[in-house]
Structure 1
Amino acid sequence: MKFTILKNEISDVLSRLQGIAGRKTSLAITENVLIRTSENGVILSATDLETGFEGFYPAEVEGQGEAAVSARKLHDIVKMFPTDHLIFEEQDNNWIRIFSENVEYHLVGMNTEDFPDIPKVADAEFFLMKSESFRRMIEKSIAISVAGDEKREHMIGVQLEKIAGESENIVRLVSTDIKRLSKIDYVCDAESGFMPGEAIIIPKKGLGEVNKFLEFEGDVNVGVKDNHFIVKKDNETIIINLLEGEFPKYQELLKVDETFDVIFNRDLLMMMLKRMTIITSEEYRSVIFYFENDELVTRAANPNVGESKEKLSISFNREPIEVAFNPKYFIDALNFIETEHVLLNIKNNESPCIVRGENNPNYLNIIMPMKI
């Protein structure tokens, strides 16, 4: 194997691959990137046994072959390489030589036959999504994270649904950690190739890797084949093993009675809650929300730190409500709401609070109250 490739063709992708190749698995070779030549370029592959990646990059190929080398070391070499092109040459005993006129590296490789196969998805059924929209959907979904030792599928995964409506077709992502739930809808274009299908659960870790490859412009192909979720760009494909399990029935929670809406200026509410978190801690997380007479009073108390109290004028003329919430959950939701005003749908001190942007039903968060 021997080829010459421009540094900027592979520098970015090697950086993005570190999350996949850097994850510990039962196979040492998954810390490597597999390099294979084709007629007019090279194919790079990486996997952590749950998420697989494959991409094609143009190169001047002089000899065919393949090699598996450390993804981290290869990234470091390419990033620091002093010239705009690199020459790769396969050596004996799985070694690989990387060089130009004045620089030369020799890297220890591994037997490419031990590299796990990445599933082929040539005949998968795809539909188009706006890359930037899908990227934002994933960001909102994986913001609800869970502990590293969590194993329950509905906690470590995001449910993707394809909903065919009378007037529009919707792709929906739903994420939860039981204490809160987010729902994000994307309305597909008429020419997207959308087809309704069964709901699937995709690992949040895998979606986080997908997000690194999504651009701010253009479209991506999204599809499902067997037990794999696939995202495909012009020259790159990411394949994620689906999770098997039942996602909680959440649909009843989405029903909003607008008579219980309380409108807030987004920025004022955000800063109020951020000031409350100065007092809170992992042990004392809750903040008391007291709604009465066109006013919200928030209070936080922590015996190890102190106390805080703040008032905010609102429109509220119902019976008083005193309820406790984790302010971090509201801050996480507000970070993704771009409207000037937000709506908090608050019924009583036992029901969940529904947070959404004004005139934007496509994204909402449901936050469970805490015990006072």
Structure 2
Amino acid sequence: MNFTVERDQWIGLLTRVQGISERRHTMPVLSHALLSVGKSEVTLVASDLEIVVRCVQPVEAREAGSIALPARKLFDIAKVLPKGPVSITGREGNSVDISAGQGHFRLAGLPSQEFPEMPEVPKADPVSVDSEVFRKLVDRVGAFSSSDETRYNLAGILLEKLDVEGKIFLRMVATDGHRLAMADGEVPELGGLLVEKRVLVPKKGLFEIRKLAEGGPGSLVLSASDKFLFAGKGDTELWVRLLDAEFPDYRQVVPKDNQQVARVPREAFAESLRRVAVMAPEKVHSVRLSFSGKQLEISTASPELGEARDLLGVEYDGAPVKIGFNGRYLQDAISGIEEETARIEFKDDVSQVIVRPEEDRSYLAIIMPMRIF
């Protein structure tokens, strides 16, 4: 193996695999990236057995070869190299020499044969998805999925097709059992990806696809098999193993009789929540919303820290009511709204509450209230 690549290009290539390589995995080779050199390009592959990423970069190649190298250390070395060409040469005993300017490193690796086999690209026809649409959907629902590994079916984000008046939408839904968010984005060609099925994608994998989506102009290419969701953009390909679990019937969770509606200025409400959250109890982050006439009081109290309150002008015509929430859940719900006005729809102080934009029907969040004494 022998090739030369510009340092900045090399750093860009290594950056794309850092989130995948597992430094604490029981299989040492999974902390490595598979480096393969062809006639005029280098391929870098990282895997944690659930997510696989493959990146290709044109280089000046003099000798082909492959080796698995520690991904993090390879990245650390690249960051301290001087600008300009970087020369990487394979040596006997599964190591490489890395040289740039007056700097020289020798890095030990593992035989390429120890690296897991690559999954195949799904045979189904790929579907083009606007990168901005995909990124926005993930941003709106991502925080709502569970981080509890024992709740396997809630640890992923549901992707399904929605047909509304002849228009095809991609819907993403996430829940952790205490809150839920769903968001829709128009994807005209989606039928080729989700013809008759929904897929449940691990949160980490979906966020890696989101990173791919925001990496420059152009659309994402998606395709799915029974086991993997495949995503490609430019010179990077990503495979995410699908979760084999039953996602809850989220439609049964959406309240049908929340007749009380408060309209709040989104940006001012978000700022008030951030201010009050400074004094909220650290474990439960509890805040109380007190609606009375045209005024909303946002407050919190902590026996150890003290208390805080903030007042906000709102549109509300119902009876006075006080509802307790996890403040962070409210902040996540509001962050998915882009309009100037947000709707807070509720039935009473103990039932599920809907947070949604005033006009846009492509997004809503549902939050369970909490009792605050």
TM-score in terms of structure 2 length: 0.92
* Worse-matched range after superposition: 222-231 or 3-12: 3-12
Indicate conservation of the 8 Å contact 2:290/2:297, yes or no.
Answer: yes
Moved more, 233-242 or 212-221: 212-221
Query: CA contact under 8 A between 1:32 and 1:46: conserved in structure 2?
Result: yes
Partner in structure 1 of residue 291 of structure 2: 291
Q: Which residue identity lines up with residue 337 of structure 1 in the other structure?
A: I
Partner of 1:179: 178
In 1, Cα distance between the equivalents of 2:101 and 2:293? 77
1:245 matched to which residue of 2?
245
**Residues 256 and 345 in structure 1, CA contact (< 8 A), matched pair in contact too:** no
Determine if the alignment matches structure 1 residue 306 to structure 2 residue 338.
no
Q: How does 1:1-372 map to 2 (within 5 A)?
A: 1-100=1-100, 102-121=102-121, 123-144=123-144, 146-147=146-147, 150-189=149-188, 195-214=194-213, 215-254=215-254, 259-283=259-283, 285-372=285-372
How much has 1:259 moved relative to structure 2?
Answer: 4.9
DSSP-derived class of the 1:226 partner: coil
Judge conservation of contact 1:50–1:240 (CA < 8 Å) in 2.
Answer: yes
User: How far did residue 109 of structure 1 move?
Assistant: 1.1
Higher mean C-alpha displacement, 132-141 vs 338-347 = 132-141
Question: Which residue identity does 1:290 align to in structure 2?
Answer: S
In the TM superposition, residue 165 of structure 1 has moved relative to its aligned partner by 3.5
Further displaced range: 328-337 or 209-218: 209-218
> What's the CA shift for 1:108?
0.5
Superposed displacement of residue 264, structure 1:
0.8
CA contact (8 A) 1:325 1:369 kept: yes
Q: Distance in 1 between matches of 2:125 and 2:316?
A: 50
Which amino acid in structure 1 is aligned with residue 305 of structure 2?
A: V
Query: Offset at 1:92?
Result: 0.4
1:326-358 CA distance string (max 9 Å, x none): 121111222232211111112212221111122
Q: Could you tell me how far apart the structure 2 residues matched to 1:7 and 1:134 are?
A: 31
Give the match's secondary structure for 2:57: strand
Aligned residues: 371
- For structure 1, the 5+ residue unaligned runs are none
Deviation per CA, 1:117-150: give whole Å up to 9, x if none: 1201152332111112212222233223544x52
Q: Considering only aligned residues, what root-mean-square deviation do their CA atoms show, in Å?
A: 2.2
Q: Partner amino acid for 1:247? A: F
Say which SS state the counterpart of residue 248 (structure 1) adopts: coil
Q: What SS does the aligned partner of 1:93 have?
A: coil
TM-score by length of 1: 0.92
Rounded to whole Å, the distance in 1 between the matches of 2:122 and 2:160 is 22
Distance 2:78 2:110 in 1: 19
Whether the 8 Å CA contact 1:164–1:196 is kept in 2: the answer is: no
Distance 1:216 1:338, change over 3 A: farther
Is 39-48 or 317-326 further displaced after alignment? 317-326
2-side partners of 1:72 and 1:318: how far apart? 57
Q: How many Å separate the matches in 1 of 2:243 and 2:23?
A: 18
Q: What is the SS of the residue equivalent to 1:118?
A: coil
Say whether the 8 Å CA contact 2:171–2:185 is kept in structure 1: yes
Give me the whole-angstrom Cα distance separating, in 2, the residues matched to 1:288 and 1:191: 42
C-alpha deviation, 1:216, in angstroms: 4.9
Q: Percent identity?
A: 30
SS state at 1:238 partner:
strand
Q: Distance in 1 between matches of 2:115 and 2:159?
A: 30
Deviation of 1:101 after TM superposition, in Å, equals 5.2
Q: How far does residue 257 in structure 1 lie from its aligned partner after superposition?
A: 6.1
Q: SS at 1:209's partner residue?
A: helix
Give distance in 2, aligned partners of 1:237 and 1:180: 32
Tell me the alpha carbon deviations over residues 170-200 of structure 1, each in whole angstroms, 9 at most, x when there is no partner: 1111111111111111111369956533111
Alignment-mate amino acid for residue 151 of structure 1: T
Q: Is contact 1:161–1:197 with CA below 8 Å preserved after alignment? A: no
- Give the Cα–Cα distance (whole angstroms) in 1 for the partners of residues 155 and 284 of structure 2: 25
